[in-house]
Each structure stands twice: as C-alpha cells, then as structure tokens.
Structure 1
Amino acid sequence: MFKTILVPTDASDSARHALSTALEVARELGSRIVLLHVVFTPEALGYTLGSGIAVPQDEINIYGKEALAATLAGIDTKNIEVEVKHLPGHPAAMILKELESGSYDLVVMGSRGYGPISGSLLGSVSQKVLSKANCPVMIVK
C-alpha cells in the first residue's frame, strides 16, 4: 500500500519523531523511505544576496548532509531502505515538487520544525504540504 514514504526533515525533534514513525510503518509494510532535507535559501523567497551572488552549492551540500546526519543520529534504520536527498529552495515548495516528480505513496512529517522564520509568518510547511500534496500525509506530533 505505502511502498515509498517521503520524510521531510529539518533535523528538529519533531522531524526525528516523524522519521521514527515512518520507520515503524515501513517495517510493518516493507516500505522504503526517502529522507529529504530542503536547504532554505534566500533565493527561495525571490531575494538575491547581491549582483550574481548566490548560496554556493558546496554550502548547500554541507548543510544538507549535516541535517540528514543529525536526523538519522541514534535512530535504528536496520532492514529498511533509506535514501537521503537534499535540495535548495523553499521547503514547502520543494517538498511538493518532489512529490510531483517521484512516486510517493505517503508523506510522514513533523507538525512543527525549526523553519526559516520564527513564528511562521508564511504558514507552516506541514500545513502547506498537507493542503496540496497528491498523496496521503501523516503529521506526527
């Protein structure tokens, strides 16, 4: 039923709990997991850092790898296929884009993360994904 599960992460406690929940589902159903971290960049909101200056891909790779490693630290993923991905951009937009491009059957994500803007002026990432996803979404508290 849920062969491939997307688990977006910002390395928060909520995201780690979502991963643990997704792993439980995956163990029961024989699913695979794609763990995704979106490195928030100023360009995601239409800003540039100056004439031709952008966040270097090397930094995006470093931040992405660190967030993915922090999410996985101390969590048992034995016998579960876990693919890790990191992308630059706006988290909600990139998660939805990933859902459109992949063959995901379920999204499992935390109800509250760190987010790029405290207080979430733009609305929560989980709420945006929940309202626009093309597959079931499980929000974990």
Structure 2
Amino acid sequence: MFKRILVPTDASEAARRAFAIALELAGNYDARMLLLHVVYTPEALGYTLSSGVTVPQEEIGIYGREALAATLAGIDTGTVQLEKKQKPGHPAAAILEEIKNGGFDLVVMGNRGYGPIAGSMLGSVSQRILSKAECSVMIVK
C-alpha cells in the first residue's frame, strides 16, 4: 500500500510524533522513508537582501543537520530504510516539490510547528500540503 513515505520535520514535538507514526507505518508496509527538513531562507520569505549579504550554505547545512538530529533523538529506526535530506527554501513549496518529484505514496507531518512567525502561521504549512499534495497526507496532532 505505502512504498515511499515523506516526513517533513522542523524538529517540533508534533513533527517528532509524526515521525514516530510514519516509522511504524514504514515498518508495517516495508516502505522507504525520507525525513526532510527545509531551512527557511530570507529569499523564500520574500525578502530582498542587501548586496553581498547571503545565507551561507554552511549555515543551512548546520540548521538542517540539527533539525534532523533532534527529530531522530532517542528514536530507534530499526530496519526501516531511512534517507535524510535538507534543503533551503519555503517549507510548503519545497515539500510540494519533493512530493511531485519523489514518487511518494504518503506524507506524514505534524499539524503545527516552528514557523517563521510563531502564532500567526501555525498550521499553515500542513494546511497547504493537505490541500495541494497529489498523494495521501496524514496530519498528526
């Protein structure tokens, strides 16, 4: 039924719960998983940076590795085939692109996370994925 599962993470508690559920599903269906973290970049939020000011690739890598490690902390992945990936951009757009290009059967994600503007945007990424994804989506509270 499910052969490829995408789990977007921002290392929030909801994302960690979603990861645990996706891991169980992957084990039951012998599915492969991709754990994805999207690092917000100023360009993704519509900001124009001053000339010469950029977000260093090393910083993107550090933030991504930290979020992936925090999501995995204390969780035994067992024999599930798990790939980890990080990329810069806007989370909803990057997740939708990954769904489109990755051949996923299911997305499992938390209902709210650590958005760039905490409070006013809670849940907006999961709502956008739910409405625009071309595969099944499970939202975990």
TM-score interval, normalised by the smaller of the two chains: over 0.9
1:123 shift after superposition: 6.1
Equivalenced residue count is 141
8 Å contact from structure 1 (residues 104, 135) kept in 2: yes
Q: Which residue of 2 aligns with 1:15?
A: 15
Work out the CA distance in 1 between the residues paired with 2:81 and 2:31.
8
Distance 1:122 1:77 in 2: 28
**CA RMSD in angstroms, aligned pairs only:** 1.2
Equivalent residue, structure 2, for 1:38 = 38
- Per-residue CA distance 1:29-85 (angstroms, 9 max, x = gap): 101110000001111022133113211111000100000000000011011011000
Secondary structure of the residue that 1:107 maps to in structure 2?
strand
Q: In structure 2, the residue corresponding to 1:7 is in which secondary structure?
A: strand
Counterpart amino acid of residue 17 in structure 1: R
Alpha-carbon distance in 2 for matches of 1:10, 1:40: 10
Structure 1: stretches of 5+ with no match in the other structure:
none
Gaps of 5+ in 2: none
Q: How does 1:1-141 map to 2 (within 5 A)?
A: 1-121=1-121, 124-141=124-141
1:122 is displaced (CA, Å) by 8.5
Q: 4+ runs of 1 displaced by more than 4 Å?
A: none
TM-score (norm 2): 0.96
Q: 1:28 to 1:115 in 2, by over 3 A?
A: same
CA distance in 1, matches of 2:23, 2:87: 22
TM-score calculated relative to the size of structure 1: 0.96
Distance 2:71 2:24 in 1: 16
